[in-house]
Copies of this chain bind each other. A is one copy, B any other.
């Protein structure tokens, strides 16, 4: 039986609990969807950083600055937090220095895991297959929004957990059980399932409906981005 746990917010990751595990960082709306899209479209690597100042200090001729504060592009940055901006033409061959409110915090706090994968709906099947093959204990980390639980991340965790459990018999803990159940009820219409949710509606109200459609699309890519805390970068490994 594969050991699967879920953490509900980036801020609730406790030091040490990730040792010996594969951590999967999920920030569907929108940081991990941005990372996946940029790498799929040929970005050389992503360098997640916590602060706007850190990002600006790293600016060079070879890289682009991307990210958000309050879901908006940061003044002076090359790119915002809409994955649709991260086209091949824009990001191909470049390093992206990325700072977001929740996703980059979740990555930074996951450094004690044996391996840190980046996941979203866009690559959920590839991640689930990797996890299943690895047999390692798994911690699915929902980044959440400003320290609060966000249902979009939990649904994606449910999808990944559901894919894992369908391949072998297991007894999940109550939180994994709830995530799977919630995902199964939501999957026929994920937009409807999120229609009363806070972050989803903030993005909708700000005019990011196309981002919502895109970030909630399943398995557009078969890629596995891995975060290396020593290097401070995210790169693809082979599936």
Evaluate contact between B182 and A197: CB separation under 8 angstroms. Answer: no
Q: Is A171 an interface residue (CB 8 A)?
A: yes
* A3 and B185 alpha carbons, distance in the complex (Å): 27
- Restricting to A107-156, which residues have a CB under 8 Å from any CB of B? 148-151, 154
Contact stretch, chosen from A47-55, A172-180, A210-218, A230-238: A172-180
Evaluate contact between A149 and B171: CB separation under 8 angstroms. Answer: no
- Chain B residue numbers with a CB within 8 Å of A172 are 196
State the oligomeric state as a number of copies.
Answer: 2
- Chain B residue numbers with a CB within 8 Å of A178 are 149, 151, 154, 182
Q: Is A59 an interface residue (CB 8 A)?
A: no
Evaluate contact between B182 and A196: CB separation under 8 angstroms. Answer: no
**Of all chain B residues, which has the CB nearest A145?**
B174
Evaluate contact between A175 and B196: CB separation under 8 angstroms. Answer: no
* A178 and B8 alpha carbons, distance in the complex (Å): 13
Closest-CB distance, A10 to chain B (whole angstroms)? 14
* A147 and B175 alpha carbons, distance in the complex (Å): 12
Q: Is A87 an interface residue (CB 8 A)?
A: no
The total of chain A residues at the interface (CB under 8 A) is 21
Q: Is A12 an interface residue (CB 8 A)?
A: yes
- Chain B residue numbers with a CB within 8 Å of A173 are 148-149, 198
- Chain B residue numbers with a CB within 8 Å of A175 are 8, 148-149
Chain B proximity mask over A169-204: 1 for CB below 8 Å, otherwise 0: 001111101100110010000000000111100000
- Chain B residue numbers with a CB within 8 Å of A174 are 148-151, 154, 197-199
Evaluate contact between B148 and A171: CB separation under 8 angstroms. Answer: no
Given contacts A8-B8, A149-B175, A151-B177, list 9 more A-B pairs with CB under 8 A.
A8-B175, A148-B175, A149-B174, A149-B178, A171-B198, A174-B197, A178-B182, A182-B182, A185-B185
Mind listing 21 A-B residue pairs with CB under 8 Å? A8-B8, A12-B12, A148-B173, A149-B173, A149-B174, A149-B175, A149-B178, A150-B174, A151-B174, A151-B177, A151-B178, A154-B178, A171-B196, A171-B198, A172-B196, A174-B197, A174-B198, A177-B196, A177-B197, A181-B182, A182-B182
Query: Which residues does A use to contact B, with CB under 8 Å?
Result: 8, 12, 148-151, 154, 171-175, 177-178, 181-182, 185, 196-199
